[in-house]
Amino acid sequence: MAGRKVRVRFAPSPTGPLHIGGVRTALFNYLFARQHHGALVFRIEDTDTHRFVPGAEEYILESFKWLGIHFDEGVGFGGQFGPYRQSERREIYKKYVQILLDKGKAYYAFDTPEELEEKRKEIKNFQYDSHTRMQMRNSLSLPEDEVQRLLAAGTEYTVRFKVEPGQDVHVEDMIRGEVCVKSDIIDDKVLYKSSDELPTYHLANIVDDHLMEITHVIRGEEWLPSAPLHVLLYRAFGWEDEMPRFAHLPLLLKPEGKGKLSKRDGDRLGFPVFPLEWHDPKTGEVSSGYRESGYFPEAVINFLALLGWNPGTEQELFSLDELVKLFDIGKCSKSGARFDYKKAVWFNHEYMLRKSDEEVSKLFAPIVAEHGIKTTPDRIEDVVRMMKDRVDFVKELWPLCAFFFVAPSEYDAKTVKKRWKDYSAQQMTELIDVLNGIEDFSVKGQEDTVMKWINEKQYKLGDVMNAFRLALVGIGKGPGMFDISAFLGKGECLRRLHRAIEILK
Ligand code: GLU
């Protein structure tokens, strides 16, 4: 292994939208590949034709494009080790299945699904293995000429892996250390099915990892139970020396309670578990996505990076480049990572603060336009500058900022009751005159004159400002008063004051 160029892969099955846990797996592969100047391969594991979902592959690719995770090779990226879609590699697998058969490491099994079902009923916890295989119909139990006759007659068969009992199987895991199991507990897994002339996941996965010169297999913990079988497969092929190193990433756990994160948790608590919105082609059901919910891809990446890994310091905000430098697969935790979606919102807010006003404005501009507002990019940027620290998502800006573009059509009743005094109309009428006389309508220009007037009249600052705010904004909250009035300009301020006086009296 030493000296080999690091090559890792992300190998999803196109069975639906990519779960956020899968995105985390891809991210950790990406970070590992980049920090070792290696290659990241994108492989599609689509040998289970029954579970194939149209559109899933495109969805997965689009998700990574949005997140900025780039692959070096694979479906959609090209490369020297293709094809990278397993359904296009049938002939390759057939060859390797034959090698195992020839070596006596695998055998034909002719048991029908009904026969297997019978056995399962007959024997509690039935497992197809060294203890039971001779009771079954396969090339080990049947006479040779019967096997040949069945094959020649085109009888459907599977090829099963012949797991020898009594062996210790060691899996060296970069996160968990050494895991050791007895081969006796491993069943004779189906490696190939003649019905669709396709291998199962296990065989295709091992053959491809070998042929694609994968050096490290970084994947979710749910694959840990398969790892001993994979080690045995490497052994059976005689590829043990080039076996990749394994790292099984901790599960993502529910935000609360026990068990792993599911789509239902997201539905119940109102957060997405998929990177992009997904329209199920069969049921028509729509599942929310991080992108459509208004998350920044950088925030999602940062959030995911800290699920199961931490740098050992207090730092929480990392760019992708920083993550590449700091990430350490050996420091991933063994225990599950709780999925704290509120933290994802926090990250989004932090990234909002760090984004330039211009960048946020570009995202906000279409929303402003959707509301029928014609304005300039500079005006939108001014609003964003005043308001972006108050929101977590760009889409939250409009309800808070609409008053900048549209005069209030009504005034919040509670605020009116509390803030609009008997004398407010009188004070606002005077304020109209004061504002009218101001030439320099900048924040500073207004502030000086208005404060002078308030002092001379010995008015209460709060009284004036609250009524002024109510007239301009319609509610009792918002950014600095003169920031608002400077933005609106003299004409609009006076119009809004007149109207408030007229309505509130
Ligand atoms: N196709 C498997 C999946 O869908 C890949 C597992 C592995 O990385 O070995 O997750």
- Stretch 143-149: mean pLDDT: 98
**If you take atom 8 of ligand 1, which residue's CA is the nearest one?**
219
Nearest CA to ligand 1 atom 2: 12
Indicate whether 437 pLDDT > 80: yes
Q: Comparing C-alpha atoms, which of 48, 41, 136 is closest to residue 87?
A: 48
> Is 263 labelled a binding residue?
yes
Average pLDDT of the segment spanning 79-86: 97
Q: Does residue 223's CB lie within 6 angstroms of at least one atom of ligand 1? A: yes
With a 6 A CB cut-off, is 159 part of the ligand 1 pocket? Answer: no
Mean pLDDT of 96-120: 97
Is the beta carbon of 12 within 6 A of some atom in ligand 1? yes
**Model pLDDT, residue 235:** 97
Least Cα distance to 91 among 201, 246, 198 occurs for 198
Task: From the CA of 9, give the closest atom in ligand 1.
Answer: 8
Query: Is the Cβ atom of 488 under 6 angstroms away from ligand 1?
Result: no
What average pLDDT score do residues 416-439 get? 97
β-strand pairing of 158-161 with 106-109: antiparallel
Helix (H) or strand (E) holding 23: helix 20-35
**If you search the block for the tokens 């065989």, which residue do you land on?**
203
**348, 393, 390: which is closest to 367 by C-alpha?**
393
Ligand 1: atom nearest CA of 13 is 4
Q: Which pLDDT score, from 0 to 100, does residue 2 have?
A: 58
Measured between alpha carbons, how far is 175 from 249 in angstroms, rounded to an integer? Answer: 7
166: CA distance to ligand 1 center in Å?
Answer: 28
Residue 43 has pLDDT above 80, yes or no: yes
Q: What are the tens digits of pLDDT across the range 170-213?
A: 999 999 999 999 999 999 999 999 999 999 999 999 999 999 99
Long-range contacts, stretch 196-201, CB < 8 angstroms, 24+ apart: 196/49, 197/90, 197/94, 198/47, 198/49, 198/87, 198/90, 198/93, 199/47, 199/86, 199/93, 199/97, 200/47, 200/48, 201/13, 201/45, 201/47, 201/48
Q: Which of 48, 201, 209 has the most ligand 1 atoms within 8 A of CB, as the residue to mutate? A: 201
The per-residue pLDDT for 3 is: 76
Give CA angle at 239 (237, 244), nearest 5°: 130
pLDDT at 1 > cutoff 80 = no
**CA 53 to centroid of ligand 1, rounded, Å:** 16
Task: Look at ligand 1, atom 5, and give the residue with the nearest C-alpha.
Answer: 11
248 pocket-lining for ligand 1 (C-beta < 6 Å): no
Give the number of the atom of ligand 1 that is nearest the alpha carbon of residue 226.
9
Q: Measured from the CA of 15, which atom of ligand 1 is nearest? A: 4
Cα 12 to ligand 1 centroid, rounded to whole Å? 5
CB distance 205 to ligand 1 below 6 Å: yes
Section 452-475 average pLDDT: 97
Please give the distance, rounded to the nearest whole angstrom, from the Cα atom of residue 228 to the centre of ligand 1.
15
Residue 12 alpha carbon, nearest atom of ligand 1: 4
* Beta strand pairing call for 245-249 and 190-193: unpaired
List all residues 6 or more positions away from 221 whose beta carbon is below 8 Å from its beta carbon.
Answer: 248, 249, 250, 251, 336
- Averaged confidence pLDDT in the chain: 96
Average of per-residue pLDDT across 478-490: 96
Residue-wise pLDDT for 304-319, tens only, equals: 999 999 999 999 999 9
Contact 123, 184 (CB under 8 A): no
Q: What is the CA radius of gyration of the chain?
A: 33
State in Å: Cα 2 to ligand 1 middle.
25
Output the CA angle 98-101-107, nearest 5 degrees: 130
Residues identified as active-site: 263
Give the mean pLDDT of 249-276.
Answer: 94
Q: Does residue 381 have its Cβ closer than 6 Å to ligand 1?
A: no
CA of 97 to the centre of ligand 1 (A): 20
Residue of 312, 331, 304, 336 lying closest to 247 (CA atoms) = 331
